[in-house]
Structure 1
C-alpha cells in the first residue's frame, strides 16, 4: 500500500521530495505519540540515539536509505506501476540482504551464499523481467 499511496501523493503534490518530507513529518509525530503512550520520554529516546551514534555512525544509513526508498517509490510508482516497483524492490532487497549476509556487513552474522540462493535470485530477476515485458 505504501508504494501506491506514495506514488499517488507524488502526483498530487507534484514532487517526490515533498511526499518524503510529509511522510517523515507524519511518522515523527506518530513516534512522538507512541513514546508518550509507552511512557518513555523523548529525551530518553534521543539519548539512546546519541549512544548508538557514538558506537556505530553507520546506523544513520537507515534513515538515509528510508528517505531514498520513500522518495523513489513516490517518483517511480506512477511510471512503472505499483506491482512492478514492488517486485523490483523485493528483488533488490533480496540481492543486497544476501550480500550483507555473505560478507557480514553492518555487524550481521556471516551466512555464505548457497547455490539455492543464487538460483532463487536469478529466478527472481527473470520474474522481474517477465512481469515488466510480458
Structure 2
C-alpha cells in the first residue's frame, strides 16, 4: 500500500477522534451516564471489530495466547481515553480536551519512535523533528489562549 494511503487513512482516523469525543460526550450527557455511553461505544466498537475479524478470515488464536501480556495494556489505555474524554469534554470543551490529547500524543509518539518502544520502527528524534513537534505543541498552546 502506498504511503499516501496510510497518511489518508490516519488523517481520517484523526478526523474521527474529535467526532467520537463529541458524540460520546453528548450521549453521556443525554442519558446521564458517561460510563454507560462508554460501555455502549465499546460494545459497538467490539461488534465492528469482530465483524472485520470474521470477514478477514484471520486465525491468530494461537498467537494471541503467546503474546506478551503487557501488550494488552492498550485496551486499558483506550478505555481510559474514552472514559476521560466522555466525562471531561462536556465540561472542558471538545476542542480543549482533544488539543491536550494531541499534545500528549506528540510527546509519547516522539518517545516511542525515538526509543523504538513496543516494537515500533526506530525514528530518532532529530533537531528538525523536535522543532516540528515543538511548533505543533506551540500551536496547541495558541489554541488555548483565546
TM interval, short-chain normalised: 0.7 to 0.9
- Give the corresponding residue for 1:54: 66
Structure 2 residue runs of 5 or longer lacking an equivalent are 1-18
Provide TM-score, normalisation by structure 2.
0.75
Structure-1 separation of matches of 2:53 and 2:132? 40
Provide TM-score, normalisation by structure 1.
0.80
The alpha-carbon distance between structure 1 residues 131 and 55, as it changes in their structure 2 partners (threshold 3 A), is same
Greater mean alpha carbon deviation, residues 90-99 or residues 52-61: 52-61
Cα RMSD over matched residues? 2.1
The alpha-carbon distance between structure 1 residues 115 and 10, as it changes in their structure 2 partners (threshold 3 A), is same
1:71-130 C-alpha deviation (Å, 9 max, x unpaired): 111112112222222222222112101100111110112221111222222222222222
Which structure would you say has the larger RCO, counting Cα contacts within 8 Å and 6 or more residues apart? 1
The alpha-carbon distance between structure 1 residues 116 and 2, as it changes in their structure 2 partners (threshold 3 A), is same
Give the SS at the match of 2:125: coil
Task: Tell me how many residue pairs correspond in the alignment.
Answer: 128
Structure 1 residue runs of 5 or longer lacking an equivalent are none
**Segments of 4+ in structure 1 off by > 4 A?**
none
- Give the corresponding residue for 2:25: 7
